[in-house]
Amino acid sequence: MKKIVDYKNKKVLVLGLAKSGFSAAKLLHDLGALVTVNDGKPFEENPEAQDLLTLGIKVITGSHPIELLDEDFSLVVKNPGIPYTQPLVKKAVEKKIPILTEVELAYQVSDAPIIGITGTNGKTTTTTMIGQVLNAGMSKGTARLSGNIGYPASSVAQEAVSEDYLVMELSSFQLMGIETFHPAIAVITNLYEAHLDYHGSREEYVAAKWQIQKNMTSQDAIVLNWNQQELQELAKTTKARVVPFSTQEVVAGAYELDGQLYFKDEIILPVAELGVPGKHNIENALAAIAVAKLSGIDNQSIAEALRTFSGVPHRTQYVGKINDVRFFNDSKATNILATEMALGGFEHEKLILLAGGLDRGNGFEELIPSLKGIKAIVLFGETKYKLEDAAKQAGIPIIRLTDNVETAVPLAFELSIPGDTILLSPANASWDQYPNFEVRGERYIEAMKALK
């Protein structure tokens, strides 16, 4: 870790704790900053705040008093989830106090080069895939996962050495709070409309994502999804070397052609040998191949790592087989697009889909083309009747309605024969019945295991 002196004796406000805020506060304290932490959770319910207090860090919990900014803070380090419309943040902007996120701190102290991954869909899978592929072929050092994937970047950066890589998943929220952050390699998996409640418009959302290349130079490389015209246009505005990937055409990077995955003119492995199904995972694998080749990893190591990659929990995750019926957990598919992508990886005439969840007021007409040819569908949650209409229009011959994921699994299994696949890919958020998509996916796995 670089022992920087930039923050010594400077007053810094850490706004919002959780994992990243806790890590940032500790790091800044170790770097000699005069840290004040402000978190909305009451002190008695806030173990992170209690731990920081024992270190001698000033802690204010339970609310976000505007008068906090009467102190002469040099910097605010903001939890990414706190919007810029929050009154304390707005006041800091008015006072022209710099507002960063903890990935900026991670960059400043890291001895290891950073590989930054962002995009709308596929970030976590691609980040995990890249880590596995690099670790398969690195002769020394370790590819360390960090960032939005659940490991605070500023914690991992303190442990990393120069032979390592920080493989960092980055949200648009995190990228809005950077100044000098500079990855050696950046990846944008794709760009779709998302988080408009936070960003206000698609343009602002895309601009936040494009921040990833803000400080990159011609010595760096940015890996872009060439299937998207929007990214082709953005590519004209970066100083970094552009390395495209595509499932639709031959490009000067990674691509799919005749059932094979290539990097430039080298075959890496057949699509059929990928450890995870789905068109979206072909794109994720191509991005990982591009990063691996840029990092000097040999083709054999790349191919073996992609063959053995079994997915990320709740993201088209293979969870087992009963009586030769395969079960996949794609609970992370909280929108129509994610389910469309997942469905593209399965043989429809042997597929039983489980879907449904929170009703956000939308219809499912867009999903109908992707539902055609599916053997059966089992629907649950608030949207089950809307999805039933879509399934009927798609001509699915067997449609069943039930209460929840737990009851959907045995019902789907009754409809299956050996050789079939049962896929949970809800196309909806989980909050009508479950606290998050992870719990929904875990209940699916538990129900599958109960069948045994």
CA 237 to chain centre: 25
pLDDT recorded at residue 109:
97
Tell me: domain 317-450, CATH 3.90.190.20, correct?
yes
Secondary structure (3-state) at 400: strand
Q: Residue 195 pLDDT > 90, yes or no?
A: no
119 annotated ligand binder = yes
Residue 182 designated active-site: no
pLDDT recorded at residue 452:
85
Q: Residue 344 pLDDT > 90, yes or no?
A: no
CA 100 to chain centre: 20
10 annotated ligand binder = no
Q: Residue 277 pLDDT > 90, yes or no?
A: no
122 annotated ligand binder = yes
189 annotated ligand binder = no
Write down the catalytic residue from 10, 19, 195, 350: 195
Q: Residue 196 pLDDT > 90, yes or no?
A: no
Residue 123 designated active-site: yes
Write down the catalytic residue from 135, 148, 225, 329: 148
Q: How confident is the model at residue 327 (pLDDT cuts 50, 70, 90)?
A: very high
Taking residues 8-26, what's their average pLDDT? 95
356 annotated ligand binder = no
Residue 148 designated active-site: yes
124 annotated ligand binder = yes
pLDDT recorded at residue 194:
79
DSSP of 293-351, one letter per residue? Answer: HHTT--HHHHHHHHHH---BTTBSEEEEEETTEEEEE-TT--SHHHHHHHHTTS-GGGE
361 annotated ligand binder = no
Q: pLDDT per residue over 295-311, tens digit each?
A: 999 999 999 999 999 88
Overall CATH class of domain 103-308: alpha beta
Token look-up 């000098």 returns 180
CA angle (183 as vertex; 7, 188 as ends), nearest 5: 130
Write down the catalytic residue from 26, 64, 78, 123: 123
pLDDT recorded at residue 336:
93
Q: Are strands 376-379 and 398-401 parallel, antiparallel or unpaired?
A: parallel
Q: What topology is assigned to 11-100 in CATH? A: Rossmann fold (3.40.50)
What's the chain's average pLDDT? 96
pLDDT recorded at residue 12:
98
Bridge partner residues of 151 (DSSP): 147
pLDDT recorded at residue 18:
87
* pTM to 2 decimal places: 0.86
Handedness of CA 311, 312, 316, 321 (dihedral sign): positive
Q: How confident is the model at residue 89 (pLDDT cuts 50, 70, 90)?
A: very high
Q: Are strands 260-263 and 254-257 parallel, antiparallel or unpaired?
A: antiparallel
Position 77: which residue type? V
Sequence spans of domains, the chain: 11-100, 103-308, 317-450
Taking residues 252-272, what's their average pLDDT? 97
